[in-house]
Amino acid sequence: MEIYTTSFTYPRRSRHAHSAPSSLEFPGAEIRLSSVEPYPGAHHLPHVNNISDTNTHPDGEAIQQLVMMAMSLHGCHISYFMVEPGRWNFYITGAYQQVMLARGMILKECPIQHRAAIKVARSEILDSPSLNPSLKAEVRRRLDEIASQTLAHIAVVNSPLALSNRTPPDGISNSGGWSGLETERVCELVVTGQGDSVDLARVRLLVMLDELSGLHAEMCEIDHKLHAIIAGRKRAVLQTIQEETATNIYLPSPLQGLMGAERSGSDSPALNPRNGNAIWITGEFFGVQRARDMLFQLSVNKSKSVISRDTAILPRKLDWMVTDRADDLKSIVSDNGTFIQFPPLGSSTSLITVYGDHRVNIQRTIRSIMALACHYYVGSFWLLPMQFNALLPPATLNASQMTNLLKQIAVTSGAEVVFKSMCFEMHGLEPEVRTAVGRVMELEMIQAFHHEIRFQIELANEHREFISGKKNGKINKIMQTTNVKIKFETFNDHNFLIDISGNDGSILQGLSLLQEELPSEISFHVPEAYHKRIIGVGGRSIQRIMKKYGVYVKFSNAEEFAALGGYNDNDDNVIARTPSKNSINLDNLKQSVMELVNPKDKDYINETVSIPRRYHRTLLGEKSIFIHDIETKTNSHVRFPHKETASDIVTIFGPESQVQIAAAMLLDHVPFEADMTVPPSAELSRLCVSADFNNLVERIKRELQVSIVPNIKMPRESSGTETPTEYTFKFRCQRSNSDFLITAREMLEQFLANHSIHLFPSPVMHVHKRGDSFAEAFPHFDSKLLSTARTHHESEDMGRPDIAGDRRLRMANSSPDVKALFNSPAYIYNLDDHSDQASYLSGSSLSGASLDYWTPLPPIGSGIPHRTKHTEDALKRGSDSLLEAKLKEQISKPRSLQNRAQSLDLTYSLSRITESSSRLPPPDSPTTSTGENGDSSPTSVTAPSFPSVYGNSGSGSISRSAVIGTAIQRPDLGVEEVSRVISNLGL
Q: Distance between CA 426 and CA 416 in Å, rounded? A: 6
> Over pLDDT 90: what percentage of the chain?
45
**Choices 3.10.20.30, 3.40.1380.10, 3.40.140.10, 3.30.310.210: CATH for 376-517:** 3.30.310.210
Q: What is the pLDDT of residue 807?
A: 40
Q: Distance between CA 80 and CA 89 in Å, rounded? A: 5
pLDDT digits (tens, 9 = 90+) for 25-75: 333 334 443 333 333 333 332 233 333 333 344 468 899 999 999 999 999
Q: What is the pLDDT of residue 656?
A: 87
Q: What is the pLDDT of residue 958?
A: 41
Angle at 372 (CA atoms; ends 366, 378), nearest 5 degrees: 120
206 and 189 in contact (C-beta within 8 Å)? no
Angle at 304 (CA atoms; ends 302, 310), nearest 5 degrees: 90
Which of the residue ranges 292-306, 574-588, 645-659, 919-933 would you say has the lowest mean pLDDT? 919-933
673 and 183 in contact (C-beta within 8 Å)? yes
Mean pLDDT of 949-964: 42
Most confident option among 129-133, 453-457, 596-600 = 453-457
Burial class (CB in 10 A: 0-12, 13-18, 19+), 553: buried
Q: What is the DSSP string of 913-967?
A: HHHHHTTSPPPS-TT----TT-------TTSPPPBPS---BSSS-B---HHHHHH
8-state DSSP, 738: G
Angle at 550 (CA atoms; ends 544, 556), nearest 5 degrees: 70
pLDDT category at 771 given cuts 50, 70, 90 is very low
Q: What is the pLDDT of residue 951?
A: 43
How many other CB atoms are found less than 10 A from the CB of residue 101?
Answer: 21
- Cα 636 to Cα 57, 525, 658: the distances in Å are 44, 13, 8
Q: What is the pLDDT of residue 881?
A: 55
Whether residue 369 has pLDDT greater than 90 = yes
- Please give the CATH topology (third level) of the domain spanning 604-669: Ribosomal Protein S8; Chain: A, domain 1 (3.30.1370)
Q: What is the pLDDT of residue 339?
A: 97
Specify the 3-state DSSP secondary structure of 877: helix
Could you state, in order of their start, the residue ranges of all structural domains in the chain?
Answer: 376-517, 521-594, 604-669, 698-802, 803-987
552 and 577 in contact (C-beta within 8 Å)? yes
Cβ neighbors of 904 (< 8 A, separation 6 or more) are: 821, 870, 874, 887, 890, 891
**Fold matches, 376-517 and 604-669:** no
Let me know how many helices (H) and strands (E) the chain has, helices first.
34, 31
pLDDT digits (tens, 9 = 90+) for 801-826: 444 444 433 444 444 443 443 444 43
Cβ neighbors of 527 (< 8 A, separation 6 or more) are: 597, 601
Integer-rounded Cα Rg, in Å, for the chain is: 38
Q: Which helix (H) or strand (E) holds 228?
A: helix 227-231
Average pLDDT, the chain: 76
pLDDT digits (tens, 9 = 90+) for 196-218: 899 999 999 999 999 999 999 99
For the whole model, what pTM was predicted? 0.72
**Choices 3.30.1370.10, 3.50.50.60, 3.30.499.10, 3.10.20.340: CATH for 521-594:** 3.30.1370.10
Q: What is the pLDDT of residue 674?
A: 86
Q: Distance between CA 80 and CA 97 in Å, rounded? A: 20
941 and 966 in contact (C-beta within 8 Å)? yes
HSE on the CB side for 789, CA within 13 Å?
A: 23
From start to end of 364-467, where are the E strands? 376-385, 416-420, 423-429, 449-460
pLDDT digits (tens, 9 = 90+) for 552-601: 999 999 999 999 888 988 889 999 999 999 999 999 999 999 998 888 88
